[in-house]
Structure 1
Amino acid sequence: MSTSLFEMEPPARPSKDILGAGTAVLAGFALDAEEELLASLKDVVERSPFRNMVTPGGFRMSVAMSNCGPLGWVTDRTGYRYDQIDPEVNRPWPAMPRAFRELATAAAEEAGFPNFVPDACLINRYEPGARLSLHQDKNERDFTQPIVSVSLGLPATFLFGGLERGDKTQRIQVIHGDVLVWGGSARLCYHGIAPLKEGEYPRLGRVRYNLTFRNVG
């Protein structure tokens, strides 16, 4: 009898610098906080529901998004920006849950970036077929602070390039509980997610959630 993907032990993977200087892949780092993370996630999206935002060029994103924390990342016909107000419900974004904040700061410290204080958490929901094209996180003012990215649910292929869009791209599978961190010389590297493959994850179903923590500065 074949063993399902979700019953297999994840392969041992090195953590530091696997994607280059300034990066860390922390396999399973979020698993100890899983229950608190999922409960907090549910609470956040009940108050600021997921929505498929539109880019300035009029493209409807395949990834559904929400935010928590003092600032939330939004895009519409007027451009990309951070805002204190959720435009869908016309009130401030939900406060960042303690479990979110503590995980982000612990992961950043583990990766060599102490004193990281996130003030924005972008929450992405991927369903099979959804993708995120290569992009830079550059709407923040303080590039000395890293990006912390937490994967929950279905596995995905993370794409990590260089400082130019045309640079060679590395591909790495991220699974439930993995945390990626990049900063320093890698802070403005292009990155994205390949189209999510069909599947179903116990408890969460046909979906992948990604928590992306930033300090806007």
Structure 2
Amino acid sequence: MPDLNLRGVRIHTGFLDPAEQAAMVEDIREVMRAAPLFRPQTPYGKQMSVRMTAAGQFGWFSDKSGYRYVDRHPSGMAWPAIPPSILRVWTKVSDVDRDPECCLVNFYADGARMGLHQDKDEADFSMPVVSISLGDDALFRVGGLSRGGTTESVWLKSGDVAVLAGDARLLYHGVDRTRTGSSALLPKGGRINLTLRVVN
């Protein structure tokens, strides 16, 4: 059972212990070496404040042509495989029998944020989105099924896992800010957020 329920978003606090977090960071470093972080541009021509990369069959991408999944890194290389340490989290919390096809890796440096948005570039909304937090705390905001209206927020800490599924799958959500220096997991600071999705 999740420890918190924020408007239907299931949050498993402290799901990963410190050793598991450190091992997962090393796995992510391997992903980043194969597919370096890049900063996408929104369709409106503005660069996002987070840097990102991906693992799996697909990665998420944005430019003036719009938001979409692509099967290659901007360098032209295929995305690396999703590490087993990350797949194990999906298996434990997703409650579905399909494997994720994308692990989006978002890196939040000091000052980075993610505006309220829906995850709706996938084909099957019956499949959940599983989010893993590593590093500095992040103020996670959740709204409703349309823009506007009230929202609620919670601080996600390193090792927490959130699941957007069922009626909560298409809720607007985002990260208002991070709490710099709140975690010693990443030597140079920052936050890594991993989101696992079924794309097709």
Say whether the fold is shared (TM-score over 0.5): yes
TM bucket, shorter chain: over 0.9
Q: What is aligned with 2:59?
A: 72
TM-score scaled to structure 2, two decimals?
0.93
Aligned residue among 132, 143, 152 for 2:125 = 143
Q: What is aligned with 2:11?
A: 25
CA distance in 2, matches of 1:195, 1:35: 23
Bigger radius of gyration among the two: 1
Q: What is aligned with 1:206?
A: 189
Q: What is aligned with 1:5?
A: none
Asked if the contact 2:3/2:13 (under 8 Å) is kept, the reply is: no
3-state SS, counterpart of residue 15 of structure 2: coil
3-state SS, counterpart of residue 18 of structure 1: strand
CA distance in 1, matches of 2:171, 2:3: 16
Residues 75-154 of structure 1 mapped to structure 2, 5 A cutoff: 75-87=62-74, 89-108=75-94, 113-154=95-136
Does residue 34 of structure 2 align to residue 47 of structure 1?
yes
Unaligned 5+ residue runs, structure 1? 1-13
Aligned residue among 161, 184, 188 for 2:166 = 184
Does residue 156 of structure 2 align to residue 170 of structure 1?
no
4+ residue runs over 3 A deviation: none
CA distance in 1, matches of 2:125, 2:150: 22
Task: Rate the CA distance shift 1:20–1:200 in 2: closer, same or farther, 3 A.
Answer: closer
Q: Which amino acid aligns with 2:159?
A: G
Greater percentage in strand: 2
CA distance in 2, matches of 1:56, 1:183: 27
CA distance in 1, matches of 2:43, 2:179: 27
Q: 1:196: how far off?
A: 2.1
Q: Which amino acid aligns with 2:137?
A: P
Over aligned residues, Cα RMSD in angstroms? 1.5
Unaligned 5+ residue runs, structure 2? none
CA distance in 1, matches of 2:36, 2:43: 21
CA distance in 1, matches of 2:41, 2:3: 35
| CA-to-aligned-CA distance 1:161-212 (integer Å, 9 cap, x gap) | 1101113111000001000001111110000001223325324032000000
Identity of aligned residues (%): 38
Q: Which amino acid aligns with 1:180?
A: A
TM-score scaled to structure 1, two decimals?
0.86
CA distance in 2, matches of 1:93, 1:30: 25
